Structure 1
Amino acid sequence: MDAEDSGAGLASSLTDLMTSLTVIFILLLVASLNNAQQEGEDTRNAILAELKKALQAFVTQGVEVKTDPKDPLTLLVLVPQGLLEFPFGKEDIPQDGMKFLESFIPKMAVTTCSPRFRKEINSIVVEGHTDSVGTDEYNIRLSQNRSLRVVFESLRVLSTQLDSETTPNLRSCFLDFLSANGRGKVEPIGDQTTEEGRARSRRVVFKIRVRSLEQRQLRVELEPPTPATAWSTE
């Protein structure tokens, strides 16, 4: 009986030890994941702050840059009121809007495609909107067409304004980020019972989204290793 009790006690002790080690391992793993998550969030916030600061140069043009309240990874680039607001039922860019894009787009492309930011940005969405008048189907199509017009004009500006050596690479980089989206009438601004409020709703917004922690980690994993530098011994 003593031998049996001793064996049972030893087995129980080993079980307790293994349980304790498992708990310690789990706690260390959770702590490590939390640290990695916090580090990723700190890096993301730093990148957003830097990008926002870089885009503040556009404030002199009346541009407003702020974090999207619906997505912490996204910066909203809001065009000055009246420049990219469309006439009722129209998708053609207003003349003042064309002039604004000619000045604004090259600067934004240079900023977002700079060595500091180009690997950190996930997308640049041109988002079109309408007022509350009309059906959902009609307004989704109209808002999509408005955003597409701005995308096409932005690419045209990059093709015609920059020097021939810079344009292909910069345009290609910007195009990699760029997309158009139509939100229809789901996000109106202002009082929709007034013409002024409806006019403010017929607009486009630029949304710059940085990569998430998972996307940044995947990018690092997929990047080919940097070749070793061959040093001359002459």
Structure 2
Amino acid sequence: MLNRYSNVLRKQSEESNFWPTFTDLLSSILLFIVVFMLIINAIKTIELERKTEEVNSQAAKIEEIEQQLEYVRGIGESIGNKLVAEFENSGLSLVVDAETGSIKFSGDIFFDTDRTDLKPEFKRQLNEFVPQYLGILLSEEYKNYIAEIIVEGHTDNIDSYMYNLNLSQGRAYSVVRYILSDEFTGFDNKDELLPIITANGRSWSELIYNNDGSVNQVASRRVEFKFRLKDYEKLSEILKENNLNLN
């Protein structure tokens, strides 16, 4: 009887010792889980702060580039407006695009069919046009922004593309060659012009169309003067890349 009573007491003692131990273990596990969750949340908070800083930094960079781009665009608009004002009543056979600043000369009165030699009338008009045109682009106000002055030759779509590419290139080259030649005396500082003027033939890649959708062959035959501003393409590309990254 005594042994039986002792066994019961021993069993109760063991059970009473077990529960505090289990409770301590459970508390330790819960504490570990809480600490683990706190660490995970801290890591997520740090990562979120880092990403927020990156986004804010990139947004600031984009804003700066947009401001620079807008400034350069404003320079282009200013030049375009001055070109419009300069040539709107000039009597020359040209059209000024106020938005881009490009100037179109009709090619029919300046070149014979299938020829690249400048006709006397074109030389006369270039003698009047070029000094005024360069007087604006290469003025103290704008010359530091001009990256390139482009003379483009364009043709109609009669004959093959390659034939007209060669013809348009020859016509653009003839214009540049005349402007840089000793025969042309309307602009003295040709050393300043030489590194930035180029001649490009466009064949019939940019035809002009009538309202009914047919090709305007006469208007398509033309010479265009264009200018390119420094850093405009580079800034646009950087802005595009950063916007893509931001998204």
Q: TM-score range by the shorter chain?
A: 0.7 to 0.9
**Residue matched to 1:66:** 97
- Please show how residues 160-171 of structure 1 align to structure 2 within 5 Å: 160-162=185-187, 167=188, 170-171=189-190
Indicate yes or no: 2:153 matched with 1:125: no
- Please show how residues 192-203 of structure 1 align to structure 2 within 5 Å: 197-203=216-222
Indicate yes or no: 2:46 matched with 1:27: no
Indicate yes or no: 2:158 matched with 1:141: no
Q: Shift of residue 59 of structure 1?
A: 2.1
Q: Shift of residue 171 of structure 1?
A: 1.2
Q: Shift of residue 37 of structure 1?
A: 2.8
Supply the AA of the counterpart residue of 1:11.
I
Indicate yes or no: 2:138 matched with 1:113: yes
- Please show how residues 76-87 of structure 1 align to structure 2 within 5 Å: 76-79=102-105, 81=106, 85-87=110-112
Number of aligned residues: 201
Indicate yes or no: 2:102 matched with 1:54: no
Q: Shift of residue 83 of structure 1?
A: 7.1
Q: Which moved more, 1:30-39 or 1:150-159?
A: 150-159
* Partners of 1:55 and 1:111 within 8 A in 2: yes
> Structure 2 regions of 5+ residues with no counterpart?
1-27, 236-247
> Structure 1 regions of 5+ residues with no counterpart?
69-73, 217-234
Segments ≥4 residues shifted beyond 6 Å: none
Q: Shift of residue 143 of structure 1?
A: 0.7
- Aligned counterpart in structure 1 of residue 191 of structure 2, from 161, 169, 172: 172
- Distance change (3 Å), C-alpha of 1:78 and 1:157: farther
- Structure with a larger share of its residues in helix: 2
Q: Shift of residue 188 of structure 1?
A: 2.8
TM-score w.r.t. the length of structure 1 is 0.74
- Aligned counterpart in structure 1 of residue 227 of structure 2, from 208, 214, 223: 208
Distance in 2 (CA, whole Å) between partners of 1:103 and 1:41 is 33
